[in-house]
Amino acid sequence: MLEHTKPDFERVRRALMLRGEPDRVPLVEIGIHPNIKSAFLGRPVKGLGVEVEFWAKAGYDFIPLPMGLVTVLMGDFRRRGRAASMARGIMRAAKAKYGVVHDEEMEKLWAKEGKGIITTMEEFESFPWPTAEDFDYSILEAMAKHMPPGMRLVPVTIGYLAPAYFLMGAETFFVSLYENQRLVTKILEKAGRIELDVLEKMLEYECVGAVWITDDIAYSDNLMISPKHLRQYLFPWFKRACDLCQRKGRPVMYHSDGKYYDVIGDLIDCGFNAIHGIEPKAMDIVYLKRTVGDRLCLIGNIDLAYTLTLGTPEEVAEETRQRLREVAPGGGYCVSSSNSIPEYVPFQNYNAMRETVLRYGTYPISI
């Protein structure tokens, strides 16, 4: 294994903390579908050891690991007690054959668009809310035992706004921002307290290198809710989470889809070290590098809407080289898809992005 492909979280930390150029541009993903991992390894990804093997051999310096309320809302297994009962009825499932690696029927979970399972104060009070003790943290130590030296785990949390519109249903949530603010506030306070308590527990583990907070606030053309409401309901929770991470010496990454130029300054003030996604159709990463690149590490921008999904490996490689040329110099950039690597990304396209970074991403950038 080449030296610059060995796991080394300091490579990522240096990029996130804007401490100049590491040895190469870090490869980062918030999630990769098991089919893609299996195609890379040539065998099914079963067991923690094989999971770690994929991330290490593919050139990554950390493993993203969903933790907290996201494991409940998305039907994950790392829950017990009230956290398990909370999961019932939140999401709806859809099955279809839409993968491109294997021809098999797969299931997707979707948040309810209309009416969710908490729409009144009575439903809020009777809901089986978990506590931080209801989640299983043993996965952190179990995975750490398999990791090579230099590798770290990065817990991925669902944030503080998303639990509200998952539980209420998106339509009910948006209407309630005006018509039932008391209920919105109660749900955000409850979910926020749970997530902060979970975060505090996770930060006690030395294998945790950073934290990744996901909370979609925008779509391709604009914010989903007004900056006023984000500042009222969401950003105070972000500030508490970032303050906690900073006290523990961990960088914090933020993920949102869409166009959120109007609140970039707020995210910086909250204490985030990096923003992820940066959809090409929504935000200009070169503009962001020029205007906030001295305050935020930029992660992502390889187009999932076309290049990674519908383009050719050659197009993916060229787009990746372009990002390396335009954004990587000086540090503060990590290559990633503009969201994640789902099952409908052709393996050859994913691999073209990965191999381009390993081949051309060594500093100083000279392509």
pLDDT tens per residue, range 39-66: 999 999 999 999 999 999 999 999 999 9
Cβ–Cβ < 8 Å for 224, 265: no
Cβ–Cβ < 8 Å for 220, 303: no
Of 137, 152, 271, 118, the residue nearest 197 (C-alpha):
137
Specify the pTM. 0.92
pLDDT tens per residue, range 223-281: 999 999 999 999 999 999 999 999 999 999 999 999 999 999 999 999 999 999 999 99
Specify the higher pLDDT residue, 76 or 270.
Answer: 270
What percent of the chain is modeled with pLDDT above 90? 82
pLDDT band at 296 (very low <50, low <70, confident <90, very high): very high
Q: Scanning the structure block, which residue is given the tokens 């100083």?
A: 364
pLDDT reported for residue 79:
47
pLDDT reported for residue 320:
98
Q: Lowest mean pLDDT: which of 101-105, 145-149, 207-211, 268-272?
A: 101-105
pLDDT tens per residue, range 329-338: 999 999 999 9
- The domains of the chain, with CATH numbers, are 3-360 (3.20.20.210)
Specify the higher pLDDT residue, 306 or 165.
Answer: 306
What does pLDDT average to over the chain?
92
Q: How far apart are CA 231 and CA 266, in angstroms?
A: 8
pLDDT reported for residue 234:
96
Tokens of 272: 């985030």
pLDDT reported for residue 107:
64
pLDDT exceeds 50 at position 77: no
Q: Lowest mean pLDDT: which of 76-85, 208-217, 269-278, 353-362?
A: 76-85
Cβ–Cβ < 8 Å for 186, 121: yes
Cβ–Cβ < 8 Å for 17, 333: no
Query: Mean per-residue pLDDT for 3-28?
Result: 94
Q: How far apart are CA 312 and CA 181, in angstroms?
A: 48
Q: How far apart are CA 39 and CA 187, in angstroms?
A: 41
pLDDT band at 28 (very low <50, low <70, confident <90, very high): very high
pLDDT tens per residue, range 165-191: 889 999 999 999 999 999 999 999 999
